[in-house]
Chain A
């Protein structure tokens, strides 16, 4: 007897188990691994509502102010009556102005003002300053894999039990100074919060969300194989469920052909001739900008399970991802020069957690003479390759495969540190070999 994989039922089963452990389990913590686009935010909102319903005062810890504001808005959308506290910093403009329109959301820079509310939400950095309050019965830690162990140390005294949710495949937290002296210690302050938590509490239940609702059927297998080899996931949609079409026919140029390839197969690699370049490779940046320009000019339309009638592919549904901030700045300038406003251009770090229809990515190793640990980091490529609902176009100089072969990972092995699989080298090769099937050489 063959069982048909029903993504909705699988996801519901996983969510049910998570909520059961969170609300009624015996353990102080529950860890949830969520691959890209697997409904992590939905889970957080749902768990928050159920905990509030059960009458347990809840604190929510997110990592950035944007994430906090987003969660507050989602909670208010699901339950406009719920009393929510937004704890914010005392800087000017500390929160999204949209929160001012929500009558049941109270905002304050002092935790004392928000006492007694069902849910209080803030960033880890702000929570760290809260002292001398009654601990919360429950906490939800969002993006826990991007939170550093020392940040958790600063806030863990504020709650009794917690639900930790995050994506283990994204970028690890980093320190701007060397932290090798603590490598291998269970509480290495530069490690991720989850690593430390599990090192000290290995008995905690760990769950996994099995279905990515964001990634299309063309992307989920590659991202799952390359970045989550031991914890595979599936896409929630089938091959026919999403379509990307263009009203204007291709003009035969490189950008147009790579757009057509990506629309057809979900992936496209626009390959420039090999060359060692500065980080802000002018030709590659221009190619990126041109691809974006053509995406908009060609009257794209995206049809998906959410909106079976095609929705136009507008600038806010497109993102450009880079490895470095100066590259992002250069792309923004190049787009402005082509008269393209409103397209999100950012680094992998800042694109974490975001979702678009089409992404255009500058390969982190494009044009480089060397492959450093930074550029090989698995999470960086994973973030860049998993932000899209329809298609991902990678712009890259030729010769990266050779570069990888010349630079095997040389990071020293640290005793007591769990080796992370896959390493960036392996993941880069996996992605590259898949992309090479969708290669379009650059012709302006």
Chain B
């Protein structure tokens, strides 16, 4: 946790209200996101109990599995989910524009521009908390290898037609959610805690109700107290007033309400199966329907508060203006969506169970690059985030006090002006460290030359600090300045045009207020890895045939204990 986040959290504890960590919204929100509030059954991994899902905050669709251990009912639930999610995806998949992309021409080997399709917008899936993302991933994994009767007439338990396709999409969304800065699949608690610091731990921030209580407490109240109520307050029946955002449910709900309701449903089903004539069956069907409706009501009562909380959270986020570079990241999300759409259309098999060596390395490289990009872009978009970087010594802001023209040595001297910046920040500058500033949206590079001997107001840091007998510096970094600030001398290296004289506006001028960062603004692409079929011997050679339908694990001694 950075120092500025720690300060914000301390302030939140002090004031009882969440403190802003950002002045703009760093994640793109589409106009029509699909919100999914899932619940699972205790005791069985990934067994859905129900879900509220939809794009209209006033009209969510409620799906339930009245007996979660019944695989047929589970398939019916997934089929219903597919009927809601897939049309939503298709809407976006069909609305395409064109874009240009650099590709290597297979004949000439040259890089050429190719016109390709890019979906105008991408479907955005919002879940309440991080555990929801894990469930999406798990559902994806459990569905994408299923076979439908159409694909394989022999399959013993055929899946409903669109379920495997939903599995592939959910898998894609689950993987994309691992890319820093992406927002195809977003956990609301993650986005909210990116923008506000509460006075509770990051673990507690995963409780959506408590998090919202900190950020937007009821009129005049304390966020801390409201958060405590959201976590603990129970009604007369011993049920949580603010149910957990799931997908896990509260044990008190499971034991006192859900278990009896499912038992009633099971009894009604058994009775219906045992009915001997039509009249009796009609009666018993009525009881079964009533039992199912009871479970529906129960699931609705646990998901609806979370549903409303999610939309409330989205409102809070929409109140912030979107950061300029968030759109750039959303374009990458659109590329990711379009790419997967194309793979599905091309009839490619589902994503393999495990990544091969090259895919894994490519994914890791992408994510590291996106992480660095995200950190740089957030700082450039948002002065509050930049303040955190400045506090950490990774950036500094100040006023230009002097500009001296200088030239590089060599046959064709190029301009290398020396710029002096007075700053109160304490950047971790070392000999010839590169620094960057944004010049018309593009980074301009400069290198650190040294600290200038100060005038009356400022002195070089090395000379002003307390000696060994002096009191320890209260701010934590002994030996650094100083009232009046340090004078940092930089040599500007690029973006000044090709001529001997720098282009107008490309060199800072005296009096300019500038912010230099020690981190790069743009990320270089890494080296291209070999194709999977060229995987070298150090990494086990090329992967074998991808088995679309994985074999079950071999039976071991432990299985038959």
Contacts and interface: CB of A to CB of B under 8 A. Distances in A.
A164 B247 CA distance: 48
Contact of A182 (B360, B468, B538, B539): B360
Interface in A313-335: 325-326, 329-330, 332-335
B352 interface: no
B73 interface: no
B392 interface: yes
Contact of A156 (B473, B478, B538): B538
Nearest to B445: A92
A278 B476 contact: yes
B178 interface: yes
Contacts of B368: 175-177
A286 B534 contact: no
Interface string A248-281: 0000000000000000000000000000001011
Contacts of B465: 333-334, 336-337
B183 to A, nearest CB: 16
Contacts of A189: 357, 360-361, 363-365
B539 A200 contact: yes
Given A177-B367, A185-B354, A187-B539, A125 B527 contact: yes
A28 interface: yes
Contacts of A325: 428
Interface string B507-543: 0000000000000000000111110001111111100
A283 interface: yes
Given A156-B536, A337-B465, A131 B479 contact: no
Interface string A16-35: 00000000000011000000
A330 B540 contact: no
Interface in B350-381: 354-358, 360-361, 363-365, 367-368, 371-372
Contacts of B364: 150, 175, 177, 179, 182, 189-190
B349 interface: no
A333 B360 contact: no
B371 A177 contact: yes
A282 B526 contact: no
B140 interface: no
B530 A282 contact: no
A201 interface: yes
Nearest to A328: B428
A278 B356 CA distance: 43
Contact of A201 (B428, B473, B538): B538
B478 A181 contact: no
Given A156-B539, A337-B465, A282 B393 contact: no
Contact of A330 (B355, B477, B535, B539): B477
Nearest to B480: A333
Q: Taking chain B's interface residues, is the majority helix, strand, or loop, or is none over half, making it mixed?
A: loop
Contacts of B544: none
Contact of A329 (B180, B393, B472, B493): B393
Given A150-B361, A326-B428, A334 B478 contact: yes
Given A156-B538, A176-B368, A283 B361 contact: no
A178 B130 CA distance: 15
A285 B178 contact: no
Contact of B478 (A178, A196, A282): A282
A217 B401 CA distance: 56
B45 interface: no
A152 B538 contact: yes
A410 to B, nearest CB: 13
Contacts of A199: 540
Nearest to A193: B538
B139 to A, nearest CB: 16
A74 interface: no
Interface residues of A, number: 54
B537 A181 contact: no
Nearest to B361: A150
Q: Taking chain A's interface residues, is the majority helix, strand, or loop, or is none over half, making it mixed?
A: helix
B221 interface: no
Contacts of B485: none
Contacts of B372: 176
B403 to A, nearest CB: 22
B531 to A, nearest CB: 10
Contacts of B3: 278
Contacts of A115: none
Contacts, number: 143
A188 to B, nearest CB: 7
Given A177-B180, A189-B360, A157 B476 contact: no
Contacts of B476: 278, 280-282, 330
B467 interface: yes
A61 B406 CA distance: 39
Interface in B374-403: 392-393
B461 interface: yes
A149 interface: yes
Given A150-B361, A197-B538, A176 B477 contact: no
Contacts of A334: 465, 478-479
A78 interface: no
A104 interface: no
Given A176-B371, A177-B371, A200-B537, A187 B479 contact: no
A286 B472 contact: yes
A226 to B, nearest CB: 30
Interface in B464-489: 465-468, 472-474, 476-480
Contact of B530 (A125, A157, A187, A280): A157
B231 to A, nearest CB: 24
Nearest to B460: A336
Interface string A127-152: 01101000000000000000001101
B555 interface: no
A253 B367 CA distance: 51
A154 interface: yes
23 contacts: A131-B528, A150-B361, A154-B527, A154-B529, A177-B364, A182-B360, A182-B364, A185-B355, A189-B357, A199-B540, A200-B539, A278-B3, A282-B473, A325-B428, A326-B392, A326-B477, A329-B393, A330-B476, A335-B479, A336-B462, A336-B465, A336-B479, A337-B465
Interface of B: 3, 178, 180, 354-358, 360-361, 363-365, 367-368, 371-372, 392-393, 428, 430, 461-462, 465-468, 472-474, 476-480, 493, 526-530, 534-541
Given A200-B540, A280-B476, A330-B480, 13 more contacts: A28-B537, A129-B527, A150-B365, A152-B539, A153-B361, A153-B538, A154-B361, A175-B368, A177-B371, A185-B355, A185-B360, A186-B540, A336-B461
